[in-house]
Every structure is written in C-alpha cells, then in structure tokens.
A and B are shown apart, each in its own frame.
Chain A
C-alpha cells in the first residue's frame, strides 16, 4: 500500500497533523497512520493509538519452557546414569533446583527478547517510508498509508499543517534496511 511521510519540526505540529488525518477519516486503529520519532515520547502525546500487546506473556512461557528443560536435563542425566550412594535417592534435588532455576531464567530472558522483537514487528523486512532526518535532526515523522487518492489527501494535509518536507515512498525506499 502506498505510504507518505510528513516531517515536522515540533511535536505540536506533528500532533496537529495526526489530528487532521483523524478528522479526514484516517483510522489509527486500522494503522492508517503512524508516528516516527528519534526518541521516546510519553504515550498519546500525538493522539496516536498503540494496539494492545502480549509482551508480558513471553517471559512466562519462556520460564515454563526453561523450567521443564532444566528438570528433564537434570532428572534425565541422573536416571540415565544413576549414581547410587549409600541407599540415597537417585534424584538429588538440590543440584536439580540450581540448574532448573538457571534454565527457567534463561528461558524467560530469551523469550522476552523474542517477544520484544515480535511485538516491535522486527525485523522489519518490508522497510516502509522513512527519512534519516528523524534521528539526525530530531524531526517527527507522520506516516499515512492507503490508496493513491488517500495518500494525495494526506500530502495536502501535511502541507497545510506546516510540514518541513514530505517524502513519498519511492524516494525513501529501503532506507531503514
């Protein structure tokens, strides 16, 4: 779908552009427009919509996987190679706790990273319209997407609100990759 990027000097102008897009029928819930910034801003400063995420589930699932793996490795080792000492149980619990704990934490950490990438939609192989001035000069980008006529409408909105520059997709292709 064609995209267009408006670059704004201040957060106020970017918020105005986002509001104007909303008034013109661009729906943030459907991803019709989005904001690009070089540093984090407090939520909803631009009146944007961030879809719900499930990042908190990932460490829990990872921890369960790591716990089971740790239990199977330590239990399996001792059952496969039993070390019978003075009638004591074959499964020695204290070392199992240690390795299972490390497995649990490792699983939680790895899944948290994977979850972050997944929820951030990274790696972003599609690229999308982008301009390096967002990080180099502190511009705030407002990206609109839709059919060609809607993109043209967004462009006129950006010009009207006071965009410093407007970047079309063809001119910016592949800049993020």
Chain B
C-alpha cells in the first residue's frame, strides 16, 4: 500500500497530463475529461484510499500525540501540542475514539476491495490477451491481501528484532497471521487456477498462445514455478504446523518468499501479454526493462523502508494508548464502582 501511495503520479504514466483529465484544460486540441477511461477510475480510487488511510492514522494517533506532548518540551511540545489539538482524555473523547476506529475500519475495507478491483480493471477492460479475465478483480484483491499481509509479517519480524518489541509483537501474533495467510493463500491459488481455466475454456487462439508461452517458454515457464513454489508450495505446509508459526525467524523468511513470489506473480501475470509476434520472422518481441524502470522498482522498495523509518521516528507505530489499555485490563478486576470483564488477550 505504501508503495502505491508513493507512486500515484508515476502510476498514471505521464503525470504532467493529469491536469488534462481532471480539469477541462485544452479544448482546442480536443482534450476533454472522459470518465469512461480507467485512467480516471484509478486515480479516484487511489486518492480515496490514500486520503482515508492517512486520516485514519492521524485520528487514531491523537491520544498518542497528547502523550508525547506531555513528555516533551520546546518546539517538539509545540508541534505535538498542535497535532493533539488540545486532547485531554475525557470519557467522551475516548468513546469517540473507539467508535471512529470501528467506523473507519468498516468504511476503508470496501475501499480496499474497490481499489484493487479497479487496478485490475485497468488491465481487464483492455483487449490484450491474458489481461481480460472476468475473475481479475477478486484475483487482484486476494493477491493484494496475500502479499500485503506477508509484507506486514516481514516488517513485524524486523521491528521486533531491531526495536526490541518482544513484548508487543509476540509469537501468538505471528501464529494468528500465519493461520490467516493459510486461508488467504488457498483462496489465491483458487483464483490463480480460475484465471488459467477461463482462458482454456474460452479457447481464444491469442489467449491460448500467450498462455502456452507463459507456462512453457523461457523465462516465463521458470517464473511460473518460482511463483507457485514461493507463494504456496513452501510457505503453506510450513505454516500448517503451530510451532513453525510461532518461530519468528521461520515466519520472517517464509514471508520474504511470499513477497518475492507475489511480486513475480504480477510480473508473470502482466508482462507476457505485452509480447508481440513478428509475422515474417516468426520471432517474439519480448519486453525488457530498461535501467530507468529497474531503478523505479528498486527505488520503490527503498522508499517503503524510508517512509516506515521516518514514520517510526516521529509517530508510535503501535498505539501507546492501546498498549496501556491492554496492560490495565489483563484480568477481571474491580474498577471504580463495578467489576469489569477484562480484555482477555490471547
């Protein structure tokens, strides 16, 4: 998600032309806004997702900004004071904080689904062979969950190791995510196979030809096995065992495998469709990334790390108030005028 956030402009192709789509800009050259184009759908979805996620993070951090304000002095106190907006921690403010967490989660989940569906439609509404399967939307959504949750697992393991968060990121969290990923990976494999079977059932010659290239020609055939082995065949049997799911090192490396596999899957899914047969030579014109494109990919990976580190430097990545809440209610306790059922943590 972060990579997508940092790349909306590059994603749109020639970003200096955004003005043409958004504003009626250049009538003389017959340029006009056209909502039928996926190039309009995509920015609208990404903008919604970006705005919603950013606002969610900021509003959930208000109590923590207040906590930092109370511990700091000078300019830092001024900045965090402004971000805390005068938060005092009244029961009403806490109640709103709890409700907004539930409301925004419920609102952002359908946006997440729509964003990945719309990204898939960027491809699926075209006529390029192997890009226009009707199953693309849910396939992209489940692929995003598989790769996204695995990336979270990787980052959790790194933070636990380097930030020393052994009490906050515990083996049971890795266990729970591992169980979730088993279900997600099975669903992903189901859609993966559906995509292939749809092509076989439809039996379009162009589709079958590219499909054959994808499975049986170099380098796509090898990449297919990389995808299948790293995204499913190795990690899933590992995660079936509880002791493995609680082994942080194993979870870290298996999630790295899934990251590699899911990135390769997108490459395998999209790029072979760009191949063109040259009629007279019977040669295939294959896409080769140039240095700029390789730089963009490497840079995007580096930017994820950079943004994460910058965020961790100025904001608590795990909400402090939720940790405090968890520590307060570890068992059933007498509290004020009542005995309250405590929050039972796994």
**Interface contact B94-A81, CB-CB below 8 Å:** no
Q: Which residue on chain B has the smallest CB distance to residue A13?
A: B336
Q: Which residue on chain A has the smallest CB distance to residue B103?
A: A112
Q: Which residue on chain A has the smallest CB distance to residue B321?
A: A39
Interface bits B36-55 vs A (CB < 8 Å: 1, else 0):
11001100110110011001
**Interface contact A106-B52, CB-CB below 8 Å:** yes
**Interface contact A176-B86, CB-CB below 8 Å:** yes
**Interface contact A80-B48, CB-CB below 8 Å:** no
Q: Which of A39, A77, A120, A134 contacts B33 (CB 8 A)?
A: A77
Interface residues of B in 83-99 (CB under 8 A from A): 84-99
**Interface contact A55-B99, CB-CB below 8 Å:** yes
**Interface contact B35-A78, CB-CB below 8 Å:** yes
Total inter-chain residue pairs, C-beta < 8 Å: 201
Binds B, one of A40-48, A152-160, A161-169: A40-48
Residues of chain A lying within 8 A (CB to CB) of residue B29: none
**Interface contact B325-A39, CB-CB below 8 Å:** yes
A44 to nearest B CB, angstroms? 7
Interface size class of A (residues with CB under 8 A): 35 or more
Most B CB contacts (10 A, CB to CB) among A40, A47, A50, A113 go to A40
* A95 CB-CB contact with B under 8 Å: yes
* A99 CB-CB contact with B under 8 Å: yes
A136 to nearest B CB, angstroms? 6
* B9 CB-CB contact with A under 8 Å: no
Inter-chain CA distance A34–B92, complex, in Å, is: 9
**Interface contact A47-B337, CB-CB below 8 Å:** yes
**Interface contact B90-A36, CB-CB below 8 Å:** yes
Inter-chain CA distance A161–B16, complex, in Å, is: 67
Residues of chain A lying within 8 A (CB to CB) of residue B229: none
A109 and B90 contact, Cβ closer than 8 Å, known pairs A15-B337, A45-B336: no
Question: Chain A: residues with CB nearer than 8 A to chain B?
Answer: 11-12, 14-15, 19, 34-48, 50-51, 53, 55-56, 59, 73-74, 77-78, 80-81, 83, 92, 95-96, 98-99, 101-103, 105-106, 108-110, 112-113, 116-117, 119-128, 130, 132, 134-136, 138, 176-177
Residue contacts A-B, CB under 8 angstroms, 5 given: A39-B89, A42-B340, A80-B24, A105-B110, A120-B87
